[in-house]
Amino acid sequence: MICGKATIWAFGGMLMTMVAIGLGSVACQGEGGQVKLQITLQPQKVLHRLDEKIYGHFLEHIYHSVHGGLWGEMIWNRSFEEVPSGRGIWRVEGNELVQEAIEPGVRLTFGDPNWSDYELSLEAQKLGGNEGFLVFFRVKSERDYYWLNIGGWGNTATAVERSIENRRRVISSFRPIRVEQGQWYKIRVRCEGRRIQAWLNEELILDFNDDENAHLTGKVGVGTWLTRAKFRNIKVTTLDGTVLFEGLPEIPKHSTARHWQGFGEGEVYITRENPLNSDRCQFIGVQKGEAGIRQSPLYIRANEVYRGSIWVRGEAPNGLTVRLKDGDRVIAEQRLPAPTTEWREYQIEFKPAETAENATIEIAAIAPAKVWVDQVSLMSESSIKVGGFRPDLLEAVKALRPPAIRWPGGCFASAYRWKDGIGPQHKRQVYPRHLWDDLEVNAFGTDEFIRLCRIVGAEPIIVINIGTRAWNGPDANEDEFLQDAMDWVEYCNGPATSKWGSVRAANGHPEPYNVKFWEIDNETWHMGPEPYAEAVKKFATALKKVDPTIKIIACGSGGLGWGDLRWNRIVIERCAEFIDYLSLHHYEWNPNGYDNGPYAFERFIRETQKIIANSRNPNIKLFISEWNLQTTDWRTGLYAGGLLNVFERCGDVVEIASPALFMRHWFSGLTPRGDREWDNAFINFDHKTWFPAPNYVVMKLWRDHFAPYLIATEGETKPLNAVATKSEDGKTIYFKAVNPTQQVVEVELVVEGDNIVKNASMQLIAPTSLFARNTLEEPKQVRPEPSNVQVDGRTVRFSLPAYSAGVVTINLP
């Protein structure tokens, strides 16, 4: 074998080596497909200083990361605001069927699945909301059906849609028909073979033949989309007039909020009748025995104290019972006194003597009773002692030592109203829309976020809502949102004598939070760069009037398919002097981009840096505020290590970074096939435990070996993605490397200078497969382990196996 100064090239997957005889660094093709590298570390040549905030994180309210996750509240949907998808809130009033939920795709289907040719007639009235009515016919299953969508598409059009395997498409022409609130509409649908006809107020509006994929039998139904409505005079007949159905369909015996179930012989339903806060509460009525609501699973530990409360009003002379059960066995129980007609909070406390991994909490009204329930809360003493957080998840966050945390979104920020999330818990209002498999009840708001940051030692970064109409509705007033943002800065940073500083003080926090970083909304690409730049100037000017010391972050593009340099160029050209940071997003959607993806984004960063350098404010830094690879197998670990190395190499312009997703409930956001939406979270958990994905494992290893100075290296580092850094005192060097190839790489590091290496060690992550992963059952399959290094004077030798990542620590005298 000949070794010399070399460059390695890859052609068609075959590694080729071009060798030039000489001294210095070496990259050689060894026996057995091994690659040998000789790299000189130059600790005296500092390229730039690194900011530890490149190891920041991003906490978004997504897939129950907070509600049902990091925040220690054990009750999901505690204020009964979220209703089950598609189920709605149904009740019968006289001869009318009323649906009260403003949710997408609400439906109530009934009849015989074998009905074929028939006519369905009914009357419908809109009570409120954004659209009109859904009339279902030929319903084979929840995934296969037809509906007549009257006043759909933002109440602009009417058409028939067909769903096959939950894939819905329009199969008729569109009619420009909208639905007015408070008016009764007569609706009739006729199915005859493949021919479908529809009438509205006795006028034929649609008449067409479906294609050969038509299914010709099925039940009927009524529903809504983001609308409240009522229905009457429902009738189904054969084409010769024989009545198949007439009247009102049977509604579910128990209508409960999502994550709750009803039990007993009484009436249990969600209602808008005088809730304690927001829009809904839960009604329980019973004349014999008991009836109520329950939720599971809860992880209950033996001899742990659990404290909470429940708000109740109504009549129940025999009171209510709140109990914890393990299966059918009661493990803790508390009787509540008879409620009054006004809302009142009742404290609950349990100390069960045994552990139940999948416990149930039940709230039962004892007959005779008519009560309304709202704001159910339960938290362990262990959570209360650590500030209200779930202890194991808090420790998982603390272990990463995040120097900064971005919050509350992401998309979540674009509709977030911060004032709904402060003050007493029972007065907080619900988030205005269902998003990411959740309807946030705002138990975790500004004060709780700052508390988290203080506990884990992170700098808070707050993303404000500028009131875009895409997220806040067509009537959104920018000036209202501008004032809201100014009030938020004052709440966080103003003295206790200021208007909103006094509110903060009244909430128990007299000292200002001094939040430094404020981001002007999130992914505002739908606005266009020119209008967004104007918004940045307006908001930045106003916010700095409240606190001139804050730093302003503007939205950049996503890069590599999510926007382009044009956005960055226009925003920087128009408002460079108003901002301190440009926020970029980068998601590698192809899980096999773990190798080249980081380098592609590195080029994008450098192109954006050129735009900044030629702007009126060349001091702008980059904040990579969202990044990740779309998988939770080992490929995301390789990608994380490679991209973190990019951030260190680009540390002269990249000052802050934070990946997404940070946390998610493992069983939230499942598709109908059981796949996970956005399966890339660092911290994955259920109600009992958690596991770190490979990106967490690598980022923790890199963070634990952070040093503030990037030093020069001489010689070819590829096929490794590698960087070298040194400590503040210069006595420790870290070499962080990712080997994204299937070859073993033998590395020889030579420390330039007179110092002899005192000692060296290595932490290596080397699973046997690209598809290795951690799970709830096996959380340590992907983990760092010590690996061999050899020290000889100024030389350190080690091996990086195929598809591995590791950190070598070199200590100098």
Model confidence over 507-563: pLDDT tens digits?
999 999 999 999 999 999 999 999 999 999 999 999 999 999 999 999 999 864 445
Is pLDDT above 90 for 212?
A: no
CB atoms within 10 A of CB 302: 11
Q: Which tops the pLDDT comparison, 94 or 31?
A: 94
Is pLDDT above 80 for 73?
A: yes
Cα gap 314→731, rounded to integer Å? 71
- pLDDT for the residue numbered 735: 98
Cα gap 149→750, rounded to integer Å? 71
Cα gap 629→597, rounded to integer Å? 9
Token representation of residue 205 = 């509006």
- pLDDT for the residue numbered 32: 46
Token representation of residue 138 = 């030929």
- pLDDT for the residue numbered 563: 52
User: Could you confirm whether 523 is annotated as catalytic?
Assistant: yes
Taking residues 492-509, report their average pLDDT: 98
What b/e readout covers 308-326, taking b as 16+ CB neighbours within 10 angstroms?
bbbbbbbebeebbbbbbbb
pLDDT category, 676, cuts 50, 70, 90?
A: confident
Is pLDDT above 60 for 15?
A: no
Is pLDDT above 70 for 31?
A: no
Give the β-pairing of 267-271 and 254-255: parallel
Q: What spatial distance separates the first Cα and last Cα of the chain, rounded to whole Å? A: 35
Is pLDDT above 70 for 342?
A: yes
Is pLDDT above 60 for 411?
A: yes
φ, ψ for residue 149, nearest 5 deg: -95, 105
pLDDT category, 86, cuts 50, 70, 90?
A: confident
The answer to whether 721 touches 641, Cβ cutoff 8 Å, is yes
User: Could you confirm whether 626 is annotated as catalytic?
Assistant: yes
- pLDDT for the residue numbered 434: 86
Is pLDDT above 70 for 26?
A: no
- pLDDT for the residue numbered 253: 79
Tell me the per-residue pLDDT of 781-807, one tens digit each, with 9 for 90 and over: 999 999 999 999 999 999 999 999 999
What percent of the chain lies above the pLDDT cut of 90?
A: 86
Cα gap 649→54, rounded to integer Å? 11
Is pLDDT above 90 for 671?
A: no
Helix intervals (H) in 563-716? 565-575, 597-613, 634-649, 694-704
Cα gap 783→532, rounded to integer Å? 43
- pLDDT for the residue numbered 631: 95
> Which residue among 73, 523, 602, 655 is the active-site one?
523
Closest alpha carbon to 542 in 503, 486, 492: 486
| 3-state secondary structure at position 155 | helix
pLDDT category, 7, cuts 50, 70, 90?
A: very low
Q: Which residue has the tokens 């009549």?
A: 315
- pLDDT for the residue numbered 91: 86
Cα gap 231→133, rounded to integer Å? 10
Taking residues 191-209, report their average pLDDT: 97
Token representation of residue 381 = 């003493």
Taking residues 424-437, report their average pLDDT: 92
Token representation of residue 353 = 């003597």
Taking residues 690-700, report their average pLDDT: 98
- pLDDT for the residue numbered 29: 53
Give the DSSP H/E element, type plus range, for residue 150.
strand 145-151
Report how far Cα 787 is from the mean position of its chain's Cα atoms: 36
Residue 801, burial from CB neighbour count under 10 angstroms (0-12, 13-18, 19+): middle
Return the minimum-mean-pLDDT range out of 86-90, 417-421, 636-640, 720-724.
86-90
> Which residue among 290, 626, 716, 748 is the active-site one?
626
Is pLDDT above 50 for 270?
A: yes
Tell me the per-residue pLDDT of 108-155, one tens digit each, with 9 for 90 and over: 999 999 999 999 999 999 999 989 999 999 999 988 999 999 999 989
Return the minimum-mean-pLDDT range out of 10-14, 528-532, 680-684.
10-14
- pLDDT for the residue numbered 475: 86
Q: Which residue has the tokens 């050209």?
A: 573
Average pLDDT, the chain: 93
> Cα–Cα distances in Å, from 571 out to 232, 515, 526, 557, 614?
54, 24, 14, 10, 13
Taking residues 728-741, report their average pLDDT: 97
Give the DSSP H/E element, type plus range, for residue 507.
none
Cα gap 61→65, rounded to integer Å? 6
CA-based R_g, the chain, Å: 31
Helix intervals (H) in 376-528? 381-385, 391-399, 446-456, 469-472, 478-493, 499-506
Token representation of residue 217 = 């039998």
- pLDDT for the residue numbered 474: 81
Is pLDDT above 90 for 624?
A: yes
Taking residues 409-431, report their average pLDDT: 96
Is the overall model pTM greater than 0.85, yes or no?
Answer: yes
φ, ψ for residue 295, nearest 5 deg: -145, 140
pLDDT category, 763, cuts 50, 70, 90?
A: very high
Token representation of residue 472 = 């806040």
What percent of the chain lies above the pLDDT cut of 70?
A: 95
